[in-house]
């Protein structure tokens, strides 16, 4: 064995086993969500005290799971789990067979909770006769794939995307793009159907394993931390760090709560840059940073965040959340406050006193941005000199 062969052997081993590990995590997550969907449907049909929760079952269930410190069980997720179970009853073959006995090694309490012979209720969608086997689906698709697939009511259309997604090894993004571009309908209208589909596969890129690992469902399921560095540049990260420190140092009641707070609805993931709780105002303060000039679309995005917090996070003792939009470019700095549903004059007065003024924030943003840009520029020059120096006669250093 020579050195090059050693490198190739290690790289091949890493790639292969990483893929296998990822497949196992995906399958664990998918089966877990399917079983949870089964539990929900069974309770809705046979639960002893189901009548007292009625149509609000998922709301109460999400709150109960949150009180136990469990993450990833928002109402929208629970609804997806239930629909996933109803649309993919064939996964039971995997749960009761290979996964039960060989891979998952589920404890008795879970094994016994899923019957060997699953009775499909009249309320459920019948097994799709066109759909690939459960093993193929679980091997090729993450739960994020399934979230997109369960949106398709037509069983033949859904099977089309399942089959082509497996053949093309599509990422979630590729699957969504093909659905949105009406590939199924275009194929049906085309005379040369195979040629069209082959052309689509030829244009597609192989799914990136790193992107799959960063799937929010997987990160949440495995307990791994979501890192904002995955998608933020140095300037934005530095600015966010300093803004966080700036607000905390004001001493006006800001309590730091979250950074890059993720909101997931219908498989779409949004992130709020910084979330604080203000102990004087008794409300959440949501901060969104844009490294560009202010756009009217920013208000709509912040309004979405505020409405989400009002419905899913705000408690009876809280005042409505407050949104703060910070936008900046080289020519202009804008600070925008967004207040939703606040008609209490006393609260507004407290708000004006407790939060920093727009003028103070504008001054901070301008000065901090200029300083950080200068520091980053200096670091780039130093690194360039170091590389140049170490690439010539100073390599031994």
**Domain that includes residue 10, residue range:** 3-216
The DSSP H or E segment spanning 277 is strand 268-278
Ranges of the chain with pLDDT below 50: 102-104, 119-125, 228-232, 380-397
Domain co-membership, 288 together with 346: yes
Can you give the C-alpha Rg of the chain in angstroms?
26
CA 10 to CA 24: how far, in whole Å? 21
Q: How far, in Å, CA of 238 to CA of 369, rounded?
A: 9
Strand 333-339, strand 322-328: pairing: antiparallel
Q: What share of the chain is helix, strand, coil (3-state, %, to 5)?
A: 60, 10, 30
Are 367 and 291 within one domain? yes
Q: Is residue 257 part of a domain?
A: yes
At 99 the pLDDT is: 55
Judge whether 79 lies within some domain. Answer: yes
Q: Examine the domain organization and report whether 197 and 264 are in the same domain.
A: no
CATH number at residue 335: 3.40.1350.10
Residues 12 and 115 in one domain: yes
Q: Which pLDDT score is estimated for 361? A: 77
Give Cα separations from 360 to 292, 325, 338, 365 (angstroms). 19, 14, 17, 9
- State residue 214's pLDDT score: 63
Find out whether 148 and 183 touch, Cβ atoms under 8 Å. no
The reported pLDDT for the residue numbered 348 is 60
User: Residue 150: what are its φ and ψ, rounded to 5°?
Assistant: -70, -10
Whether 395 is covered by a domain: the verdict is no
What is the count of structural domains for the chain? 2
Q: Are residues 64 and 151 in the same domain?
A: yes
Pair 128, 185 in one domain? yes
| Beta-sheet strands, E only, within 149-215 | none
DSSP 310: H
Instruction: Looking at the structure, tell me whether residues 93 and 165 fall in a common domain.
Output: yes
Other beta carbons less than 10 A from residue 239's beta carbon: 22
- Please check whether residue 223 lies inside any domain of the structure: no
Q: Which two tokens stand for residue 259?
A: 């950074």
Q: What is the pLDDT of residue 33?
A: 92
**How far, in whole angstroms, is CA 184 from its chain's centroid?**
27
311-348 burial code (b ≥16 CB/10 A, e <16): ebbbeeeebbbbbbbbbbeeeebbbbebbeeeeeeebe
Instruction: State CA 152 to chain mean position distance.
Output: 21
Contact 353, 250 (CB under 8 A): no
Q: What are 224-280's pLDDT values in tens digits?
A: 555 544 444 555 677 777 777 777 766 678 888 888 888 888 778 888 988 989 888
């Amino acid at each position: 064995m020579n050195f090059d062969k050693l490198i190739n052997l290690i790289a091949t081993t890493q790639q292969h086993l990483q893929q296998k590990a990822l497949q196992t995590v995906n399958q664990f997550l998918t089966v877990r969500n399917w079983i949870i969907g089964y539990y929900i449907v069974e309770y809705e049909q046979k639960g002893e005290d189901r009548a007292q929760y009625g149509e609000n079952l998922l709301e109460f269930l999400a709150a109960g799971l949150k009180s136990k410190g469990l993450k990833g069980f928002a109402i929208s997720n629970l609804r997806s789990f239930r629909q996933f179970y109803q649309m993919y009853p064939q996964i039971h073959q995997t749960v009761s067979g290979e996964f039960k006995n060989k891979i998952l090694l589920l404890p008795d309490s879970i094994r016994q909770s899923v019957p060997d012979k699953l009775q499909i209720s009249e309320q459920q969608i019948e097994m799709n006769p066109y759909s690939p086997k459960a093993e193929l689906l679980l091997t090729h698709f993450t739960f994020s794939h399934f979230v997109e697939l369960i949106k398709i009511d037509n069983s033949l259309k859904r099977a089309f995307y399942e089959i082509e997604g497996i053949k093309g090894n599509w990422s979630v993004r590729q699957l969504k793009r093909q659905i949105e571009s009406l590939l199924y309908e275009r194929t049906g209208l085309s005379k040369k159907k195979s040629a069209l589909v082959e052309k689509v596969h030829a244009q597609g890129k192989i799914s990136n394993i790193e992107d799959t690992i960063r799937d929010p469902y997987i990160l949440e399921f495995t307990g791994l931390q979501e890192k904002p560095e995955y998608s933020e540049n140095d300037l934005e990260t530095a600015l966010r760090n300093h803004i966080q420190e700036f607000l905390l140092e004001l001493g006006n009641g800001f309590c730091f709560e979250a950074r890059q707070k993720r909101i997931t609805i219908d498989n779409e993931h949004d992130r709020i840059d910084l979330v604080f709780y203000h102990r004087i105002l008794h409300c959440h303060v949501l901060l969104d940073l844009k490294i560009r000039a202010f756009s009217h679309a920013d208000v709509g995005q912040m309004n979405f965040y505020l409405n989400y917090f009002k419905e899913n996070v705000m408690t009876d003792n809280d005042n409505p959340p407050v949104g703060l939009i910070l936008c900046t470019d080289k020519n202009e700095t804008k600070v925008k406050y967004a207040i939703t549903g606040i008609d209490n004059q006393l609260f507004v007065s407290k708000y004006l006193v407790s939060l920093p003024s727009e003028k103070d924030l504008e001054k901070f943003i301008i000065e901090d941005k200029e300083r950080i840009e200068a520091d980053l520029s200096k670091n780039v020059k130093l690194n360039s000199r170091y590389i140049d120096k170490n690439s010539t006669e100073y390599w031994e250093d």
